[in-house]
Structure 1
Amino acid sequence: MKLLLYALATLSVSAIPAISIAQSSQPLTRAQVIAELIELEHAGFHPGSIDYVEYPGNLQAAEARIAAKQAKNTPTPTANGSSQ
């Protein structure tokens, strides 16, 4: 039983660096959050509106419009690997 506890403790300690490496993305800054909110408002989502019934649908629709706009503005690679 003691051996099992030692093995479990060793595995858990060795897994901590792997977990911390997986979280390498930096948190958003205040300016980035404000810019995203402004972009959502331009796409038709208004977080302060009274119509809470449509909340998830309105947000998802605005995010879909932003994603479509970004996809349209992103150049696609051709067969030889260069963009047009």
Structure 2
Amino acid sequence: MKPFWRKSAVALCILLASGVASAAGKLTPAECTDYPFQPLSKPVTHAQLMQELSELESVGYEPSARDENNYPSDIQLAQARLRLKYRADCLGQNVKVPTTRIDSGSNLFAPM
């Protein structure tokens, strides 16, 4: 029974590491032209929502934090950081993603 759990734990670690590694890098050209950065003509798919969640997590959003006191500001901050990442990776703009609080009056909080 132990080898099964050991193999499962190793497989899970590899899966999580690969997801984190792919989410932490630059946005690809395909990601730059897809949801949430470009308007869609059809309904959002589950895969697109999962990709958006992965991108939000790559800039610091933690949906499992269970801190209702910071909602919705925590996801809005992650969306603002993701917009900066988009501007840097997809538009070639020289921007830095802030690690501190972004002013709520900033245009970064405008919908994607």
> What TM-score range do you get, normalising by the shorter chain?
0.5 to 0.7
Question: How far 1:75 sits from its partner (Å)?
Answer: 4.0
Corresponding residue pairs, total: 53
Q: Which protein is richer in helix relative to its size?
A: 1
Aligned mate of 1:45, from 48, 58, 61? 61
The Cα RMSD (Å) is 1.7
- CA-to-partner distance for each residue in 1:8-36, whole Å, 9 max, x for gaps? xxxxxxxxxxxxxxxx7211111111000
Aligned 1:1-84 pairs, distance under 5 A = 25-73=41-89, 74-75=91-92
**Equivalent position SS for 1:48:** helix
Q: Which amino acid letter does the alignment assign opposite residue 67 of structure 2? A: D
Q: Which ranges of 4 or more aligned residues in structure 1 deviate by more than 6 Å?
A: none
Greater RCO, 1 or 2 (C-alpha within 8 Å, sep 6+): 2
- CA-to-partner distance for each residue in 1:26-62, whole Å, 9 max, x for gaps? 1111111100011111111112222110111111110
Q: Percent identity?
A: 38
Aligned partner of 2:4 in structure 1 is none
TM-score (norm 1): 0.56
Question: How far 1:70 sits from its partner (Å)?
Answer: 0.7
Is there any run of 5+ residues in structure 2 with no aligned partner, and where?
Answer: 1-39, 94-112
Aligned partner of 1:10 in structure 2 is none
**Distance in 1, Cα, partners of 2:77 & 2:92:** 23
Task: Decide which structure has the larger Cα Rg and report it.
Answer: 1
